[in-house]
Structure 1
Amino acid sequence: MKIKEMARENVFVRKAFYRFFMPSLLSSLGLAIGGLADCIFVGNTVGSVGLSAISIGQPVYMLFNTISYSLSIGGSIRYASALSEGKEEEGNRIFANVLRTDLFTNLTLCILGLLFLPQLLAFLGAGAPGTELWESCEAMVRAQLMLVPVMFCQGPFYYFVNCDNNPKLAAVALVTSNTIDIVFNYVFVVLLDMGVAGSVYSTGLGAAVMILISLTHFVRKKGCLRFTWPKFDGSSVVQSFRTGFATSVQYIYQFVTILVCNRLLMSIDGELGVAVFGIVYNVSLLAASVYDAISMALQPMVSTFHGERNKHNVLCTLKQAFQVSVGLSLVLILILMLFPRGVCFAFGLRTAEELSMGVVAIRIYALCVLPSGINMVSTYYYQTLGKEFISYLIFTLRGFVFFLAFSLLLSRWGVDLFWWTYPCMETATLLVLCIYNKWKGSWTYLEEDDSRIFTAFLDSRTADLGEVEQAVSDYLEGMDANPTQTYFATIAVEEVCGVILDRGFSVNDGYIQLTIVPHEDGTVTIHIRDSAREFNPFEMDTDDISLEEGTGLDAIGVKMIKSKAKEFFYRRYAGFNTLMVRV
């Protein structure tokens, strides 16, 4: 066993990252493909009018997405942070407040939208009443508003279940939802000829199934998440909303930019320009789904490791996220550059004029994919650290300021130059990010001095607990801990790590990661993460203790630690055992 001030091994990060990322990628891609299916079925059945109606109706989705995902993403980040500190009850209070607020707000806006539907359609730019475009938009927006309470309650269930150590169930729920959406999209739009409204009904049906599947997480009670009814805490809701708004503000910006671009393109090139814009927008959602999946792995891991003051694991997670982002971005760029006609054809573009515009738009858009990935992963990372200003800055520049500026400027020279808005805004945003971070003197915004944090990495095959104990004792003495605290913390490390090595690794070899964090009140928190089978030392059976035979004595030590510790908390998280003891 070799003790290091900073553990170099990132075995915990790699396994945990892909445990979160792969299910999230499937669910995010499924969600994006569900959106693509809307355009594909509508485009091939209704035509360019249907594609235009979908594009015009998108701002309604953007508004509700902003509310739901701000609460859900921000709340789930705070939930993961609370659990990393052993505060299970606080985590459930956060979930309850987020769910109630999301449902109440959605219902209120749904009623208002239905009451003022004609005014809403005029605001969205649906054209003149009585036209084919107006009727398609009216059918779609009415269906959206009627199904809002179901469709936009998915967010809290998905994000919280994912953060409650069940990314597989969250992914299964969302993939099943998207599959049902695609299948019934075909049934409603193509077979039953229900038009654009049919694509909304299929989405609502899929959302209902997703929520039902997520509820099994609560029934089985395998995680910490529970339905409770605590006193409403407005400050908690605001804090969750603020944390998540850095990501979800993109939907507000998309609300505005889609409105502006629809009007610009309608004046420049009519319904065809709006239809191609809708295709490019849906392709951009496919790219964004990859980065959303990365964020679903990045955010709970960074939140947990940062709560443990484990700087090395935070950096390893960030590096892993960027590697995956760059690799998948290059794959997507290659596909869009080589097969733009196939993409256009899939969306129902058939004539030479339609294909000509679509091919140019898609190839130009492909140029922005790589910088877009860097910008989005950076934003998710800064948001998780609570760096709200820089998160807002990135999203505001790329999703609003630069997008509007370049679209208004470039559209003056025709529709072909308009598509350069995408690469220009992403490149400009990345340039500003580089300048800002250079000015601040940091890219990671982590504390440079982590000398007060003790870290050790143990290999079960070569671990020497005596060396660990001495190192912990020397560390605490150097931190001016009193003799009693030093003794108890050293014994806690010895007993807990010892029983994990003896019982947890009885079948397979593995690793233990040890982190000790001092606090201003004089206490220290011991974080222990191991790759053993599911094993909670604090639930060891003490019935087989025999002083004569010398059996079960390790359980006595663990029981003593449990009784003396100020706080303790165990959970199985991301495929590992995680244990927190505060002394």
Structure 2
Amino acid sequence: MSDTKVIHSSDTSGHIFSLFLKYVSANVLGMIGFSCYILADTFFIARGIGSDALAALNLVLPAYSLLNGTGLMIGMGGGSRYSLSSTHPEGETHRTVFTQSVLLAVIAAIFFALTGLLGAEPLCLLLGADSRTLPFAVPYIRILLAFAPLFLANNLLVCFVRNDGEPALSMAGMIIGSLSNILLDYLFIYPLNLGMVGAALATATAPLISMGILSTHFLRGNSHFRLMKTKPSLSTASSICSLGVSSLITEVSSGIVILVFNFLLLDLSGNTGVAAYGVLANIALVLIAISTGIAQGIQPIVSSHPGKKGQPVRHQIRCYALLTALLLALLSYAVIFLLADPIADLFNKDQNTALTSIAADGMRIYFTSLFFSGINIVAAVFLSSTDHPKQAFILSLLRGFLLIIPAAFLLAHLFGLTGIWMSLPVTEGIVCIFSLLFLKKV
């Protein structure tokens, strides 16, 4: 593996912008497709099963966020280390980083699978399920976690194929996998009438389709990474995790937000409030995926232009990414603001007017956070890609734990439901100040 595919660009703005478009457009489309895994479940569960099942899905989403975040941590961290070491392709790290990433994924897969098979019911109870939602939550999370090896392997391949110079193939794998999930959701929930089991099976088997697409990278002989015979390395594993931990915390933070909001909403408005938030949370997965796609798109470019020599390219890529994040946030919010009521109705099989009202009002406040979260997500990945994991970790920690939890409890106490919806924009706005300060110093 002495030859390696490094992402080159000339010093002209035109070529840099072309490279930016190539990687970011592919990854934004791919991440939107990937985020539709759960959104498809939300739609078909809401329309085909009912509001209790929708509430159950929202209650178990934090577990899915942790699973997906772990996959992204290993994939993004491994991919970043792979690109950063590409200037020394003969070195031990570059040759073995994929294998070390696979070993990490195997350990994580065993943990998640055992949790799903042996502890699904206690986990659902811990996440807030009650007698109405538990029968829907348990089979869903059990199947999802039991299939953890597929999710983790898919995340790993997506990231490494992207860093190996194939962003379009990475995008194709994510989108086709998501489309297969939508088709399987319809088949399992409607004609086969498998309920929550069918929704879980559709989501859990879709990564197989994605990996089938990604495998062509190896079949065509384009791969510059492969499994190597090597001993587990704690230092390499630590390096991978440190570069990818911001991606983990970004995903886990969404799960933490969902968990905290669910408990607050159960107290304020019961299962109807949780079901309404389920609509917001799953739409948020898609909208946040846009920012994540921008961030993951720039990662291979930024990591492949280290040091002072690569600074002009990194600076331009950062400007393009932040501007794109703001423009897409503006477009997304305009759609949400104008169409909040009909969007909420799409997920309201029982025509519950309270559900529609809570969801629509919540969207218009909650999604003002998009103007800040895009900057924060891009900043965290940019910092990790330039080998500044500590700053990226701080940003992710502020978003995921240190600010959002006290803000949610305080604002809910002061303003009720409105305060819950306000807590995310307030948190993201404060973190945005730190993001801009960190980026200014890099």
TM-score range, shorter chain: over 0.9
Distance 1:432 1:310, change over 3 A: closer
Give the counterpart letter for 2:77 in structure 1. G
Aligned residues: 431
Unaligned residue ranges in structure 2 (runs of 5+): 1-9
Contact 1:85–1:307 (CA under 8 A) maintained in structure 2: no
Give deviations 1:523-570, integer Å, cap 9, x for gaps.
xxxxxxxxxxxxxxxxxxxxxxxxxxxxxxxxxxxxxxxxxxxxxxxx
Verify: 1:65 aligned to 2:61, yes or no: no
C-alpha displacement at 1:120, in angstroms? 1.9
Verify: 1:103 aligned to 2:106, yes or no: yes
Which residue is 2:38 aligned to?
35
Give the counterpart letter for 1:399 in structure 2. G
Verify: 1:171 aligned to 2:171, yes or no: yes
C-alpha displacement at 1:58, in angstroms? 1.0
Give the counterpart letter for 1:69 in structure 2. L
C-alpha displacement at 1:308, in angstroms? 7.2
Verify: 1:445 aligned to 2:441, yes or no: yes
CA separation in 2, counterparts of 1:8 and 1:162? 22
Bigger CA drift: 135-144 or 107-116?
107-116
Distance 1:8 1:16, change over 3 A: closer
Verify: 1:144 aligned to 2:144, yes or no: yes
Bigger CA drift: 109-118 or 228-237?
109-118
Which residue is 1:54 aligned to?
57
C-alpha displacement at 1:20, in angstroms? 0.8
CA separation in 1, counterparts of 2:429 and 2:404? 11
CA separation in 2, counterparts of 1:112 and 1:420? 34
Q: How does 1:490-505 map to 2 (within 5 A)?
A: none
Distance 1:240 1:8, change over 3 A: closer
Distance 1:416 1:445, change over 3 A: closer
Distance 1:433 1:28, change over 3 A: closer
CA separation in 2, counterparts of 1:144 and 1:204? 6
Give the TM-score, by structure 2 length: 0.92
Which residue is 2:89 aligned to?
86
CA separation in 2, counterparts of 1:180 and 1:162? 21
CA separation in 1, counterparts of 2:345 and 2:287? 19
CA separation in 1, counterparts of 2:192 and 2:175? 24
Contact 1:165–1:223 (CA under 8 A) maintained in structure 2: no
Q: Which among 425, 428, 446 is matched to residue 427 of structure 2?
A: 425
Give deviations 1:66-104, integer Å, cap 9, x for gaps.
322111111100101122333476424101110122023
Which residue is 2:327 aligned to?
327
Give deviations 1:455-474, integer Å, cap 9, x for gaps.
xxxxxxxxxxxxxxxxxxxx
Contact 1:247–1:391 (CA under 8 A) maintained in structure 2: no
CA separation in 1, counterparts of 2:256 and 2:67? 14
Distance 1:117 1:296, change over 3 A: closer
Question: Following superposition, which runs of at least 4 residues in structure 1 exceed 4 angstroms of deviation?
Answer: none
C-alpha displacement at 1:154, in angstroms? 0.9
Structure with higher Rg: it is 1
Which residue is 1:405 aligned to?
406
Contact 2:116–2:146 (CA under 8 A) maintained in structure 1: no
Which residue is 1:118 aligned to?
121
Identity of aligned residues (%): 22
Q: How does 1:560-579 map to 2 (within 5 A)?
A: none
Give the counterpart letter for 2:428 in structure 1. E
Which residue is 1:224 aligned to?
224
Contact 1:299–1:380 (CA under 8 A) maintained in structure 2: yes
Q: Which has the higher strand share?
A: 1
Contact 2:188–2:194 (CA under 8 A) maintained in structure 1: yes
Contact 1:247–1:383 (CA under 8 A) maintained in structure 2: no
CA separation in 1, counterparts of 2:205 and 2:328? 31
Contact 2:34–2:175 (CA under 8 A) maintained in structure 1: yes
Give the counterpart letter for 1:422 in structure 2. L
C-alpha displacement at 1:307, in angstroms? 5.0
C-alpha displacement at 1:304, in angstroms? 0.8
Give the counterpart letter for 2:74 in structure 1. L
Give deviations 1:379-398, integer Å, cap 9, x for gaps.
11112112222212211222
Which residue is 1:266 aligned to?
266
CA separation in 2, counterparts of 1:334 and 1:341? 13
Verify: 1:249 aligned to 2:252, yes or no: no
CA separation in 1, counterparts of 2:385 and 2:271? 41
CA separation in 1, counterparts of 2:213 and 2:359? 39
Contact 1:84–1:307 (CA under 8 A) maintained in structure 2: no
Give the counterpart letter for 1:381 in structure 2. F
CA separation in 1, counterparts of 2:132 and 2:86? 53
Contact 2:275–2:355 (CA under 8 A) maintained in structure 1: no
Contact 2:326–2:374 (CA under 8 A) maintained in structure 1: yes
